[in-house]
Structure 1
Amino acid sequence: MRIALLEDEYEQAQHVQQILSDQGHPCDSFPTGQSFLSAVLHRSYDLMILDWQIPDMTGLDVLRDIRAQLNWPVPVVFLTQRDSEQDIVQALDAGADDYLSKPARPAELIARINALARRSNPDSDKEELHYGPFVVNTSRRTIALNGERLTLTDKDFDLTLFLFQNQGRLLTREMLLERVWGLTRDINTRTVDTHMSRLRRRLGLNPDNGFRIKTIYQRGYRLEAMADAAAEEVTSA
């Protein structure tokens, strides 16, 4: 999982980043609420860890902005010295998924993160996944539309599965390159755009089949269920 950390104390940030990287979780650290929000609202993270007391705003304010502006329920954990019952209740009521007290205990932090990962993706262990008229078989690595098996490359399958598992979520090109192709984020390539264009045609990702791939200008892509997209357009009208 790629994790965003809000922590203004350098040594604390280094400590948490080391714990996470040792378990294979890349982590970007930010010292202020504004720098954190600027990053997480334009990049793709699987989980966020927030300190409460930071220089420019509170972690609670950051959490409220995340819940108000992100269109998918990213898991959020508080890691802070504030440990009163009132603080914990306030954070959970504002949308936090878990709450830990400093200092971070490595085994507990990783266990909580793994539990949240399982909870946020409950279908990860299922062999057959259903998304409207699409059926994805993760064991056979096949995808069928209305009962007819589609012809896809291995990368097409990986990309499609990742899109369905993250529908409604902004996925940056950098994240797709890293998760699907295993490439570093700073590489300059049109690979993602080429594959997205091909998937639209091969999978029939159009309103008739209930899904669309929406291009988010200069940011990336989002797979949208048409029912959700229509509801969002009605709400914003």
Structure 2
Amino acid sequence: MRIALLEDEHEQAQNVQAILAERGYECDSFPTAQSFLSSVLHRSYDLLILDWQIPDGTGVEVLESVRAQLNWPIPVIFLTQRDSESDIVRALDAGADDYLIKPPRAAELLARINALSRRTSPESDKEVLNYGPFEVNTQLRVIKLHGQALVLTDKDFDLTLFLFQNQGRLLTREMLLERVWGLTRDINTRTVDTHMSRLRRRLGLNPDNGFRIKTIYQRGYRLEAIKATADTETASGDEAP
């Protein structure tokens, strides 16, 4: 899991990062709203942790910006010294999923993160997942389109499942290499481009089947649900990796 932390106090940030590292989570820390938003809006994170008081704004303002600009409901936890009922209500009304008071207790913080992960990925334990005309059997590792099994490699299956589980979300090439291929360094991102080009054809991702893989220039890919009546010329314009 990749987490972005907004925290301007160095010791507090180090404490949270140490807690998360013990569980194997990767955490990038940012001291300002500007640096935080610059990374969050251009990279792929699984969860955000926000402080309230920061040098160039407030955590609530940052959260409102994230909710307005990201097109998927990334889970957000507030971690702050502000503990009044009105502050908690304001943060939750702005779109926060949880609220903790500093300093965090390690076990509680990890439990809250795990609970949010389960809540935001409710399909993770299901054997058969349905996405429009696509049926994904996670046990048999078979994907069907309109009832017909598709011919896919193991890596094709893993990549397809990850795309469907994160539809609407920008997935960088680096993130896909890490999550699907297990590669974290000395990587060739053309591997992702090659598989995406092939996957478009093998899955029949087109307006008639309700999905397309959109290439986000210099950033990565996003699986989008589209209407069958969508402009096919617009969809085909995203075919090049």
TM-score category, normalised to shorter length: over 0.9
Q: Secondary structure at the match of 1:125?
A: coil
Q: Is the 1:177–1:185 contact (alpha carbons within 8 Å) kept by the matching residues of 2?
A: no
Q: Is the 2:210–2:226 contact (alpha carbons within 8 Å) kept by the matching residues of 1?
A: yes
**Offset of residue 228 of structure 1:** 11
Q: Is the 1:174–1:185 contact (alpha carbons within 8 Å) kept by the matching residues of 2?
A: no
| Residue aligning to 2:157 | 157
Partner AA of 1:57 in structure 2: G
Cα distance between partner residues in 2 of 1:57 and 1:118? 31
Q: Is the 1:175–1:185 contact (alpha carbons within 8 Å) kept by the matching residues of 2?
A: no
**Offset of residue 189 of structure 1:** 3.0
| Residue aligning to 1:166 | 166
**Offset of residue 31 of structure 1:** 0.7
**Offset of residue 141 of structure 1:** 0.6
**Offset of residue 21 of structure 1:** 1.2
Q: Secondary structure at the match of 1:66?
A: helix
Q: Structure 2 stretches of 5 or more lacking a match?
A: 235-241
- Does the C-alpha gap of structure 1 residues 228 and 50 become closer, same or farther in structure 2, counting only changes over 3 Å? farther
**What are the Cα deviations for residues 152-209 of structure 1, in whole angstroms up to 9, with x where unaligned?**
1111000000000000111011110110011115633301000000000000011111
How does 1:45-194 map onto structure 2 within 5 Å? 45-184=45-184, 187-194=187-194
Q: Aligned-pair RMSD on alpha carbons? A: 1.5
Q: Structure 1 stretches of 5 or more lacking a match?
A: none
| Residue aligning to 1:3 | 3
Q: Is the 1:171–1:222 contact (alpha carbons within 8 Å) kept by the matching residues of 2?
A: yes
Count of residue correspondences: 231
Cα distance between partner residues in 2 of 1:168 and 1:43? 14
**Offset of residue 229 of structure 1:** 11
Partner AA of 2:144 in structure 1: A
**Deviation >2 Å, runs of 4+:** 185-189, 227-230
Cα distance between partner residues in 2 of 1:127 and 1:188? 33
Partner AA of 1:103 in structure 2: P
Cα distance between partner residues in 2 of 1:104 and 1:228? 48
- Does the C-alpha gap of structure 1 residues 159 and 80 become closer, same or farther in structure 2, counting only changes over 3 Å? same
- Does the C-alpha gap of structure 1 residues 186 and 34 become closer, same or farther in structure 2, counting only changes over 3 Å? farther
Q: Is the 2:37–2:66 contact (alpha carbons within 8 Å) kept by the matching residues of 1?
A: yes
Q: Secondary structure at the match of 1:43?
A: coil
Partner AA of 2:80 in structure 1: T
| Residue aligning to 2:239 | none
| Residue aligning to 1:201 | 201
Q: Report the TM-score, using the length of structure 2 for normalisation.
A: 0.93
How does 1:194-233 map onto structure 2 within 5 Å? 194-227=194-227
Partner AA of 1:165 in structure 2: Q
Cα distance between partner residues in 1 of 2:60 and 2:38? 16
Q: Which of 221-230 and 83-92 deviates more?
A: 221-230
Q: State, as a whole percentage, how many aligned pairs show the same letter.
A: 81
